[in-house]
Amino acid sequence: MQTRRDNATPTAFHRKTTDVKMENIRNESFVRAPAPIEGIAATGQASLPDVLGFVEALTAEIDTTLEIGEPNPHLNMVTALLKAHFSGKTVTATTLIAASGVPYATARRKLAQLLDAGLIEQRARTRSGRSFSLHPTLRLMTNWRQFCDRLLRLCAEIPGATAPGSEEYYFGASYVPASHTIAPPQVLPEPLTLGGGLRILVHSDPTFMVMDNLKRQFEQIIGTNISQRAFSIDRLRAEALRNAERRTSKYDIIAVDLPWIGEFAEAGVLAPLDTCLATDRLDPPDFHTAGWMAAHWGGRPYGVPSQTTPELLFYRTDLFAEAGLPPPHTTDAVIAAARHFHAPHLGRYGIAWNAARGTALGHQFLMTCADFGQPVINLDPIAGGFAADVAARSDIVPTIDTALGLEACAYLRALLEYSPPDILSMSWYERIRPYAAGTIPMAYGYTLLAPYFERDPASPAFGKTGYLPHPAGPKGRPVAPVGGYAMGIPANIAPERRAAAVEALIAFTSPEAQKLYVLNGSRTAPRYSVGADPEVRGMSPIFEAVDAMSLRDELQYWPRPPIPEIAAIIEICGQEIHDMLRGIITPRIALQRAQSRAEDALKQSRMLRRTPWIPPA
């Protein structure tokens, strides 16, 4: 079944242009093409399917060269099984027997040996249990992973061929513990029983589109069809709230922007996870602390981080080096660098950011206030920032109209002077396009957008991008505001579907699944284990940079605290600050209006929450 995309991305993202690079990323180029055989040793980053293709080609060459050679049925069946597993195709005993290259009776005996050895497992395809599908076991996947590593090392020993990192290989063992290399996802022991298949509601961002590209493989893993609907951010929130009003949820799993957690918890949109499963099964310490805590409300988890994507400052390391400029760690340095590079008469501009009216600019303003040390509500200061878990507090008030808020406005007005002429209509994707095209040297952007230039060798920013947390104002400190999505279980899910939905949720957010997303184009890794995986680290410097920010306690979710009214406050700020940037009102009036409207929103919300919630009939 095809993914249904309802207003999937901003209009400009759908618009047909001559920008072939953007079109490729939107479509299938997120799925990494297998490396050429001769390039495996040179890159040192071949994936399991890459090496599988190499083994198949090498085996064919050997069989052709040695005309009297006999087929290796074990190898032939294993490679056929793995190839089907990586492409999400169903495999039966008949399939492997046909691939063995030996007579039927011999193939049956060899297949039985693979089953007895614990390398292949069977899963019932029907309720009668008379028909089975075959799948690789964890043991086989681990053995194949180790074989791939050894094969790359052997290839590197050929004169003239080297593999990066080969100096770290000593007497047949890597200094990196084997546990740091995450195996591919395994099929569930029992296929999920869900009438009509698994139904998921997601955001239409690159990471969820990668999941869609891998849909067939995940259908193999969970044993049922997957139907995925993708919405833009505002329509996703509206659909999730509308779904909560139905007697029974249309979806088994929904994606939730982290700032919505408080609203969705209070409104009964999501079921607390601790009522659905033992949370130890999720391995909570493996998640980035900020991402895991952002999925909580009132001390209870309401979702599992599926992507932890902080907003960073992307900057062109080559251009900064040529200009003799250091990386811009402060807001003053950002303005100075933007002024230096700004040359509109040459088609070059200083910086791009979220300045489109409403949600986009609202997010940018809250994060900019955080750069100057100002939370949007009266949070208590703690080590590393502010305490954002405020579910038990009743004294929350907006803190928008402040001296630090005024400094944030002055900074945005300064950026406006060195931004592209269409900056006031730029949002999530549009701000990255000019950076990827090479017309600007700096852009604020989420890590999930990095593939737009990291996976495009034709982009001037390819391999020449540095990643910084938000540069700090005079009284602030560097902060990487955590964004991204958690996946949760709707509170009104049909009881008979809940257990299966939980198993699917665990599978989709496992380290094995998260690594698979990265290998196919995602640039988000909510788990420490995924960011530490050697193969993941080799895909992009962004993972090491984000892990370092987490260790420095720069990954924070307080810039957008998950209170029930945060969506309204973001929208209010995005409207008033936009009028300010257009010159319609002064910064002081914009802050006063935003403060007053935000106070009204909190009062109205509190009045509504005093009214007992009545479930739909």
For residue 501, what pLDDT is reported? 96
Whether residue 254 is found in the same domain as residue 274: yes
Is the alpha carbon torsion for 128, 130, 136, 140 positive or negative?
Answer: positive
Domain boundary among 124, 150, 175: 175
Residue 105 lies in a domain: yes
Listed residue (443, 453, 471) closest to 373, CA to CA: 471
Q: Which pLDDT belongs to residue 32? A: 34
- Are 41 and 152 in contact by the 8 Å Cβ rule? The answer is yes
Q: Is residue 615 part of a domain?
A: no
Does 181 fall in a domain?
no
Considering the domain boundaries, does residue 361 fall inside one?
A: yes
Q: Does 236 lie in the same domain as 129?
A: no
Pair 342, 255 in one domain: no
Q: Whole-number mean pLDDT of the chain? A: 84
Question: 491 and 454 in one domain?
Answer: no
pLDDT tens, residue by residue, 272-286: 999 999 999 999 999
CA distance 336 to 350: 9
Kindly state whether residues 364 and 451 are assigned to the same domain. Answer: yes
| CATH classification of the domain holding 285 | 3.40.190.10
Residues near 517 by beta carbon (within 8 Å), at least 6 away in sequence: 207, 210, 211, 214, 524
For the whole prediction, is pTM greater than 0.95? no
Percent of the chain with pLDDT over 90: 55
Residues 76 and 110 in one domain: yes
Residues 359 and 451 in one domain: yes
> Which tens digits make up the pLDDT trace of 505-556?
999 999 999 999 998 888 888 999 998 898 898 889 999 999 889 889 899 9
Q: Is residue 525 part of a domain?
A: yes
**Is 617 inside a domain boundary?**
no
Residue 506: per-residue pLDDT: 95
In a domain, 415, yes or no: yes
Query: In which domain, by residue range, is 206 found?
Result: 4-30+186-306+485-555
pLDDT digits (tens, 9 = 90+) for 13-38: 333 333 333 333 333 333 333 333 33
Q: pLDDT band for position 262 (50/70/90)?
A: very high
Query: φ and ψ at 404, to 5 degrees?
Result: -70, -35
Q: How many domains does the chain have?
A: 3
For 25, 127, 317, 320, 542, the CA distances from 328, given in Å and listed in that order, are 29, 62, 11, 9, 17
